[in-house]
Structure 1
Amino acid sequence: MLAQTTMTSKGQTTIPKEIRDRLGLQPQDKLNFSLLSDGTVIMRAKKGSIKSVYGMLHQADRLVISIEEMQRP
């Protein structure tokens, strides 16, 4: 796939929608850029870490139980 974009005077650019969709990119996603010796730029969507989902399922009124308690019949 080939896509073209224009860089603004502030160094900003928009990733074309087709590429955003194919990579599953969302606002606030992090992107890593690598510059190869021949001038090729590789852009990769940074994979989320467990830290990025920490607390996502937290419910203040939910009872905290151990794994052993969960495994009891």
Structure 2
Amino acid sequence: MDKAAYLDFVVEIIRRRDGAQGFEVLPRRWVVERTFGWMIRWRRLVRDYERRIDVSKAKVVVARGGNLARRNAHP
């Protein structure tokens, strides 16, 4: 079963324009890349070690909470 369909998500893949040459900033893609970069700082999230999806999800939630707490403590 597709996880996005199960959770009722709409996944939109941002693609480059046809004929685009060189680097081109794609809309809103930087938000996802930035968030992944922040989560990579949490060593356990670099690789998918967990067998259960709920444990993996909990670790992502803890990592995001840690980032939020750090940003609130040091604005």
TM-score normalized with structure 1 length = 0.25
Q: Which has the higher contact order (CA 8 A, sep 6+)?
A: 2
| Largest Rg, 1 or 2 | 1
TM-score normalized with structure 2 length = 0.25
Structure having the larger proportion of residues in helix: 2
Structure having the larger proportion of residues in strand: 1
